[in-house]
């Protein structure tokens, strides 16, 4: 894996790196891992991120010979993507371990991570118990109501279960609105940054355009409210045990 030259795209703080790695783990992103000094490679995935001990766990290959080459090299160059954004990191100090009874590679938590669209603004994953819906105004004054998956001061992630809503990447849709439970309605224009077709449905990444100060205040109030609720419900310890060597 070639090292990018743009230093601004590297994450250096532990909290930022852990956030991206956990997102890769939660979304079960496939990682293409190249073995240092060897032409062999493998497809793997993150199974565990342990910031308390600065360790991560990666899935092993079904081929014992490749696993042996990984352990001998002590380093994997990892390439994947998160919501269409390229992610690169190096897994070092690889050791054989067990996680939930299965063999894994245990590695050092990366000290740096390449993420060219690092978000400066927190994005909150929304609970399904009290859904937030966004009304998009389409061409011909038609509108569609879509559920929001995540939300931040800069934009929103939406889901189209039918995959049939006619949207274009880069297009700006005016006169959109969203009702925030317990706070009120906000109005904005929305630019579609990316579209991801799934089976079934489609994920939509949008950025707020022309968000007025009064609406930004309501949005921030809602985010603060939901973050407090989230902290109150989060367990002190992870439910699964860390990998054992």
Instruction: Kindly list the structural domains of the chain, giving each domain's residue range(s) and its CATH number in brackets, ordered by start.
Output: 7-114 (2.30.110.10), 123-233 (2.40.10.220)
- Average pLDDT in the 104-121 region? 81
d(CA 102, CA 104): 6
**Rounded to an integer, what distance in angstroms lies between the CA atom of residue 18 and that of residue 46?**
12
Q: What percent of the chain has pLDDT over 90?
A: 45
Alpha helices in the chain (DSSP H): 14-26, 64-73, 213-233
DSSP notation for 51-71: TTTTEEEEEPPS-HHHHHHHH
State the Cα–Cα distance between residues 174 and 169, nearest whole angstrom: 15
Nearest CA to 31 out of 80, 83, 94 is that of 80
Structure-token pair, residue 12: 């250096």
Q: Residue 2 — very low, low, confident or very high, per pLDDT cuts 50/70/90?
A: very low
Residue 109 pLDDT class (50, 70, 90 cuts) = very high
Q: Helix %, strand %, coil % for the chain, to 5?
A: 20, 45, 35
Distance CA 165, CA 135 (A): 12
Cα-atom radius of gyration of the chain, to the nearest Å? 21
Question: Residue 199 contacts by C-beta under 8 Å, 6 or more apart in sequence?
Answer: none
Q: What is the DSSP code (8-state) at residue 242?
A: P
**Measured distance CA(112)–CA(128) in Å, rounded:** 33
Strands 155-160 and 143-152 turn out to be antiparallel
- pLDDT greater at residue 139 or residue 4: 139
Residue 110 has pLDDT above 60, yes or no: yes
Query: Does the pLDDT at position 6 exceed 80?
Result: no
Mean pLDDT of the chain: 85
pTM exceeds cut of 0.85: no
Q: Residue 4: pLDDT above 70?
A: no
Mean pLDDT on 153-168: 88
Structure confidence by residue, pLDDT tens digits, 184-237: 999 999 999 888 888 778 889 898 988 899 999 999 899 888 878 777 765 555
The residues, ordered by sequence, that sit 6+ positions from 23 with a Cβ below 8 Å of its Cβ are: 82
- 218 contacts 176 by C-beta, under 8 angstroms: no
């Amino acid at each position: 894996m070639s090292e990018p030259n743009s230093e601004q795209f590297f994450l250096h703080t532990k909290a930022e790196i852990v956030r991206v790695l956990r997102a890769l783990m939660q979304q079960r992103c496939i990682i293409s891992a190249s073995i240092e000094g060897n032409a062999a490679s493998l497809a793997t995935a993150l199974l565990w991120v342990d910031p308390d001990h600065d360790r991560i766990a990666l899935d092993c290959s079904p081929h014992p010979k490749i696993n042996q080459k990984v352990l001998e090299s002590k380093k994997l160059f990892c390439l994947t993507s998160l919501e269409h954004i390229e992610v690169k990191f190096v897994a070092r100090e690889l050791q054989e371990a067990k996680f939930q009874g299965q063999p894994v590679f245990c590695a050092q938590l990366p000290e740096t991570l390449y993420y060219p669209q690092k978000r400066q603004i927190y994005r909150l994953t929304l609970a399904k118990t009290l859904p937030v819906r966004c009304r998009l105004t389409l061409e011909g004054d038609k509108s569609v109501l879509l559920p929001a998956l995540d939300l931040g001061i800069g934009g929103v992630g939406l889901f189209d279960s039918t995959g049939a809503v006619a949207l274009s990447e880069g297009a700006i849709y005016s006169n959109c609105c969203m009702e925030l439970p317990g706070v009120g309605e906000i109005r904005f224009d929305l630019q579609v940054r990316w579209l991801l077709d799934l089976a079934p449905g489609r994920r939509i990444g949008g950025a707020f355009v022309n968000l007025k100060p009064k609406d930004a205040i309501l949005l921030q109030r809602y985010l603060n409210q939901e973050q407090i609720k989230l902290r109150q419900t989060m367990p002190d310890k992870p439910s699964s045990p860390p990998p054992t060597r």
